[in-house]
Amino acid sequence: MIATGKDRLQGWKEIADYLNRDERTAKRWEKQRGLPVRRIPGEGRANVYVIVSELEDWLTAGERASSPSVVETSFKDSTDSGTELTEVILKRDAGESADLSVMQRWFWQMLVVCGACICVAAVGIYAYRTSHVLTKSGPLFSKLSLVSTSSSSSRTDVEELYLEGVYLYEERTPASLEHARQSFEEAIGKDPKYAPAYTGLAITYLLSREYATIPSDEAYARAREAAEQAIALDPNLAEAHAALGFVDFFSLWDEAAATKEFETAIRLNPQCTIAQHWYGSMLMHEARYPEALEHLNLAQRLDPASPAILATKALALGLDGHRNEAIDTLQALTSKGFDAASPHRILALLSLVEPRDLARYLDEMRRVAELRKDQEALTTLALATEAYHSSGEQAMWAAILEREKKFHPSPEHPTRSMAEAEAALGHDDEAIRELTLLAEQRDPDTIGLAFNPLFAGLRNNPKFQEVVTATGLPRKQSPILAAR
């Protein structure tokens, strides 16, 4: 580390320099090791900082938690002996008598260090080869399976691009997802037979429809194509089966096919985090909350540093009647730096549960639109916010409905936002008409209507129940809606 003479380090560059690491490593340590990074409200490149005393406490705690290995101890001993050896040489040069026992001890300790390093390397190589050749269902194989026939050097390049893509899509921002797509496509260009890159591409497309503005139809079609290609190259890739399961349920509304894919993924690799996460999400949409939380808890244990998993778990808890606990979890996520779209969208949803907090709803939806770079949504929300503050809730929903009809004038192609506004305004027949059309068109946004608070007033309407049934979802209500 470097001496700064400061009590605060501003921006990733200063933080990384202090740690003698690059910026990417510092960002990864925040996610995986709890590096105590703080954030200044607002956006910008330098909105992160750390308090040096907190950073030192974190480093000290890490040192106490890690006991030295044989290699580390031997290396320390050899360093101390190296100092003694330097003194021996200096004495020799000065004409003084040298202690040969120091030189002998240094020689033997260095021999021990070299031997230990060779043993560690041998064990590592054996474990690596065993995990790839003998246990294809293991988590390491699913991430680094070498199915290509390319040369060793080019294969390493492909792996690096793949790992870079995974790192980028985990950030879940429009820019990082676009860069992840480019990394996976570059890897495929270098080795068209490298199956994990197709899996990464499929996952990137699925995340891009939620965290960016890629149209759902395009995202699902491309994700399915990439996942099927990955499975054609390597049927044992658990993540590829999980991606297919996600498409089967959320796009095709095929619960049986989705269940088969998720169960296949988990059978191939019980430690496949994304399979546990997405299977839990599917079960949550089916109002099977205990089962959903079982898989989401397992996903969280597999990847405790994943804010995306915690956000989905918070939604499941909220829908299962634990609204305050869910809100506390989501607020903690956003305050600690996970400023992606999903926690804000869930907070907006929970803000519509009675008693409604419409100011909070508008604020959270504005943040979702900002993070997704959705200019159309930002314009709509600006008009809605102005109407709400000037004339109240009814004016707000009327402004949203008018704006949606302006941009989507065809009555045969409504949007979910139109149906929500109609329901909020008490126009039940119009809302159900629009929802029926959306269901007939298999619009992916319809999949969550059963637990949308804005449709809670329609739950006893037989026509609304027909729409719910058309999506393949059960008629069971979320406890937070049934309590109204």
The full set of domain ranges for the chain reads: 8-65, 70-134, 139-269
Low-confidence ranges of the chain (pLDDT < 50): 1-4, 42-46, 66-103, 106-108, 111-114, 116-153, 483-484
pLDDT for 309 = 93
- pLDDT at residue 335, rounded to an integer: 83
Q: What angle do CA 188, 193, 194 make, to 5 degrees?
A: 65
pLDDT for the residue numbered 198: 97
d(CA 380, CA 27): 34
When the candidates are 2.60.40, 3.30.2310, 1.10.10, 1.10.3470, the CATH number that belongs to 8-65 is 1.10.10
Q: What is this structure's pTM? A: 0.67
- Between CA 223 and CA 264 the distance in angstroms is 18
Rounded-to-integer distance, Cα 312 and Cα 42, Å? 25
Quote the tokens at residue 287: 């109002």
Q: Which fold has domain 139-269?
A: 1.25.40
Count of other CB atoms within 10 angstroms of residue 428? 16
233 with 206: CB under 8 angstroms?
A: no
Q: Please provide the distance, in angstroms rounded to a whole number, between the alpha carbons at the two ends of the chain.
A: 57
